[in-house]
Amino acid sequence: MVFIPSPTVERHVTEAGLKRPDLSRHLSREARARLPNPIKSIWKVAQVKPGTINMGNGDPHHTLYPISEMNFVVPSIDDADPVQAWRTGTGGQQVISSFKDEPCALSLRTAFAYGAGAGLQHVRDALADLNNRIHSPPNHSVSLSLGNADALTKCFRLLGDPGDSFLCEEFTFSAMTNAALPLGIDWVPIRMDEGGLMPADMERILSSWDEATQGKRPHVLYTIPCSQNPTGSTLSLERREQIYQIAREWDIVILEDDPYFFLQYDLDVNSATVAQHGFTRAMADALPRSFLSMDYDGRVMRLDSFSKILAPGMRLGWVTSNHFFAEKLDMLTDSSSQHPHGLGQAFVAELLGKDGWGADGFMKWVSSLCSEYERRRNLFMDVFRREVAKTGFASAEVPQSGMFVWIKINLEHHVRYRRIENSSGGPCTNTAELMDELFRKLLDCGLVMMPASTFAIADRTGRSTEGHIADRVNYFRATFVGTDETICNGLSIFGRTIEDWYCF
Ligand SMILES: Cc1ncc(COP(=O)(O)O)c(C=O)c1O
7 CA from centroid of ligand 1 (Å): 33
Of 485, 383, 369, 380, the C-alpha closest to 87 is 369
> Mind giving me the DSSP string for 243-279?
HHHHHHHTT-EEEEE-TTTT-BSS----HHHHHHH-H
**Region for residue 372 given its phi and psi (left: phi exceeds 0; alpha: psi -120 to 50; beta: otherwise):** alpha
Residue 424 maps to a domain: yes
Regarding whether 360 and 428 lie in a shared domain, the answer is: no
What is the C-alpha separation between 323 and 20, in angstroms, rounded? 12
Chain centre to alpha carbon of residue 322? 18
259 CA from centroid of ligand 1 (Å): 6
Residue 95 maps to a domain: no
What is the C-alpha separation between 237 and 256, in angstroms, rounded? 14
Residue 97 maps to a domain: no
Q: Which of 169, 173, 177, 316 to mutate to test the pocket of ligand 1 (most atoms within 8 A of CB)?
A: 173
Regarding whether 235 and 117 lie in a shared domain, the answer is: yes
Regarding whether 398 and 338 lie in a shared domain, the answer is: no
Regarding whether 136 and 186 lie in a shared domain, the answer is: yes
Of 432, 424, 444, the C-alpha closest to 501 is 444
Q: Is the separation of the CB atoms in 371 and 364 below 8 Å?
A: no
Q: Is 148 near ligand 1, meaning CB less than 6 Å away?
A: yes
Residue 359 maps to a domain: yes
Residue 67 maps to a domain: no
Compute and round to an integer the Cα radius of gyration of the chain. 24
Of 446, 450, 471, the C-alpha closest to 459 is 471
Domain boundary among 339, 368, 397: 368
Q: Which amino acid is at 65?
A: Y
Regarding whether 141 and 229 lie in a shared domain, the answer is: yes
Residue 5 maps to a domain: no
Environment class of 404 (CB within 10 Å of its CB; exposed 0-12, middle 13-18, buried 19+) = buried
Q: Is 313 near ligand 1, meaning CB less than 6 Å away?
A: no
Euclidean distance between the first and the last CA atom of the chain, given in angstroms as a whole number: 47
Environment class of 29 (CB within 10 Å of its CB; exposed 0-12, middle 13-18, buried 19+) = exposed
Q: Is 479 near ligand 1, meaning CB less than 6 Å away?
A: no
> What residues contact residue 160 under an 8 Å CB cut-off, 6+ apart?
28, 166, 180, 183, 184, 185, 220
Q: For the domain that residue 472 is a member of, what is the CATH number? A: 3.90.1150.10
What is the C-alpha separation between 258 and 228, in angstroms, rounded? 9
257 CA from centroid of ligand 1 (Å): 8
> What residues contact residue 204 under an 8 Å CB cut-off, 6+ apart?
465
Percent composition of the chain: helix, strand, coil (DSSP 3-state, to 5): 45, 15, 40
Regarding whether 218 and 203 lie in a shared domain, the answer is: yes
What is the count of structural domains for the chain?
Answer: 2
The pTM score is: 0.94
Regarding whether 151 and 280 lie in a shared domain, the answer is: yes
Residue 69 maps to a domain: no
Residue 145 maps to a domain: yes
Q: Is 98 near ligand 1, meaning CB less than 6 Å away?
A: no
Of 496, 501, 504, the C-alpha closest to 387 is 496
Q: Is 149 near ligand 1, meaning CB less than 6 Å away?
A: yes
In tens digits, the chain (504 residues) has pLDDT values of 444 556 656 666 666 666 788 999 999 999 999 999 888 888 777 777 788 888 888 889 999 999 999 999 999 999 999 999 999 999 999 999 999 999 999 999 999 999 999 999 999 999 999 999 999 988 899 999 999 999 999 999 999 999 999 999 999 999 999 999 999 999 999 999 999 999 999 999 999 999 999 999 999 999 999 999 999 999 999 999 999 999 999 999 999 999 999 999 999 899 999 999 999 999 999 999 999 999 999 999 999 999 999 999 999 999 999 999 999 999 999 999 999 999 999 999 999 999 999 999 999 999 999 999 999 999 999 999 999 999 999 999 999 999 999 999 999 999 999 998 877 778 999 999 999 999 999 999 999 999 999 999 988 776 566 788 999 999 999 999 999 999 999 999 999 999 999 987
What stretch of H or E contains 317?
Answer: strand 317-321
Domain boundary among 314, 340, 368: 368
Residues in the chain: 504
Q: Which amino acid is at 233?
A: S
Regarding whether 177 and 134 lie in a shared domain, the answer is: yes
Greatest alpha-carbon pair distance for the chain in Å reads 79
CA dihedral 80, 84, 86, 87 (to 10 degrees): 180
Angle at which helices 342-352 and 358-387 cross, to 10°: 100
Cβ neighbour number for residue 54 with a 10 Å cutoff: 11
Of 407, 248, 224, the C-alpha closest to 305 is 224
- Residue-level pLDDT at 426: 85
Q: Which domain holds residue 481?
A: 371-503
3-state secondary structure of 145: strand
Q: Is the separation of the CB atoms in 123 and 349 below 8 Å?
A: yes
Domain boundary among 306, 333, 368: 368
Regarding whether 142 and 195 lie in a shared domain, the answer is: yes
- Per DSSP bridges, beta strands 165-169 and 141-145 are unpaired
Chain centre to alpha carbon of residue 127? 16
Regarding whether 185 and 131 lie in a shared domain, the answer is: yes
Which is it for the CA torsion 107, 111, 116, 120, positive or negative?
Answer: positive
Q: For the domain that residue 131 is a member of, what is the CATH number? A: 3.40.640.10
Regarding whether 395 and 334 lie in a shared domain, the answer is: no
Q: Which amino acid is at 210?
A: D
Q: Is 383 near ligand 1, meaning CB less than 6 Å away?
A: no
Q: Is 402 near ligand 1, meaning CB less than 6 Å away?
A: no
Q: Is the separation of the CB atoms in 452 and 476 below 8 Å?
A: yes
Helical ranges in 162-268 per DSSP H: 174-180, 199-207, 211-214, 237-249
Regarding whether 238 and 154 lie in a shared domain, the answer is: yes
3-state secondary structure of 501: helix
